[in-house]
Structure 1
Amino acid sequence: MSDQQLIEYAKKALEKAYAPYSKFRVGAALLTKTGNIYTGCNVEIASYGATNCAERTAVWKAVSEEGKIDIEKIAIASDDEAYIYPCGICRQVMAEFAQDDMELLCSNKNGDYRTIRFGDMLPNAFRSF
């Protein structure tokens, strides 16, 4: 699967985002090392603490289907001009299921993207392994 194809999956997931409060829609596409793709979008709730990010939605879907997963890549897309990066909570969730060499494809609304190694995004991640 090419980076561009994974970004297209994330863009498609973005269309389903539920963001009535911030209007900031995000989509994510996760590729596991087994070759499966799981998508997610952000879901906002009036009580912001209960809101779930696109990246975590994709992780939860993957785990609910496969059990213990190993993430190869995650693409993140939004309809914003700026590049989109995962929040701190999402980074910690990814640390549970990804090695430092996992690639994050952080894109903008034009489809331009930056590839970031997960270990560079969250150095010295708290892990049990």
Structure 2
Amino acid sequence: MAVSNEPKIYLIQKMKSLDKDIQTLLQEAVDARLSSYSPYSKFKVGAAVLCEDGTIYRGCNVENVSYPVGICAEKTAFGNAICSGKNKFKAVAVIANQEKCFTPPCGACRQFISEFGELDLYLAKPDLSDVLVTNLKDILPLRFETCDFTF
């Protein structure tokens, strides 16, 4: 097996080493996860978005018996912010009820979030001990953009 020479696209950091606004963002995502409506999968996800002005909006996943109709936590958080007149963002935090691994946004959410720029992305486990830090550009390098089609 060959060893990959590709650079890592993330860092694992301790919660207490992060800026206070990011710590607050992560705690908001944890709190949002508790509101998750997930009676079918029991997979609870919370997300929070940090706006450029420092405000934070949160969201949780909302399931439906018809699975494709459910809403991801990331989209709920962005929807809450946009409904409040915000559309300039700095960072996103996502936390699920996974104790052993980090849960990144799904592919559809990655594309959705990319509409708002190359945001910093923070993933954590519910206990917030370790935080995976990356950037949206790194996990979605070839996003679909307006230059991909003509009007």
Scaled by the length of structure 2, the TM-score of the pair is: 0.79
| Aligned equivalent of 1:24 | 43
Q: What is the CA–CA distance in structure 1 between the aligned matches of 2:125 and 2:50, rounded to whole Å? A: 19
Residue type at the aligned position of 1:117: N
| 2:80 paired residue among 48, 56, 61 | 61
Residue 86, structure 1, aligned to residue 105, structure 2: yes
Counterpart pick for 1:38 among 49, 52, 57: 57
1-structure distance, mates of 2:88, 2:140:
17
Deviations 1:93-114 (A, max 9, x none): 101112x2x1100111221211
Matched, 1:107 2:137: no
Distance 1:38 1:83 in 2: 21
Q: Does 1:128 align with 2:127?
A: no
Structure 1: distance between partners of 2:146 and 2:51: 20
* C-alpha distance after superposition, 1:4-53 (max 9, x if no partner): 21110000001100000100000001001122211000000000111000
AA aligned to 2:38 is A
**Do the aligned partners of residues 128 and 33 (structure 1) sit closer, same or farther apart at CA in structure 2, a change above 3 Å counting?**
farther
Determine the C-alpha separation between the residues in 1 that align with 2:145 and 2:56. 24
Runs of 4+ in 1 over 3 A off after TM superposition: none
TM-score, structure 1 length as denominator? 0.91
Give the superposed CA RMSD. Answer: 1.3
**Which residue does the alignment assign to 1:6?**
25
Q: Confirm or deny that 1:70 pairs with 2:77.
A: no
Q: What's the secondary structure of 1:2's corresponding residue?
A: helix
Aligned to 2:9: none
Give distance in 2, aligned partners of 1:7 and 1:120.
Answer: 20
- 1:42-79 per-position Cα deviation (integer Å, ceiling 9, x unaligned): 00000011100000000111111115x12200111122
Identity %: 37
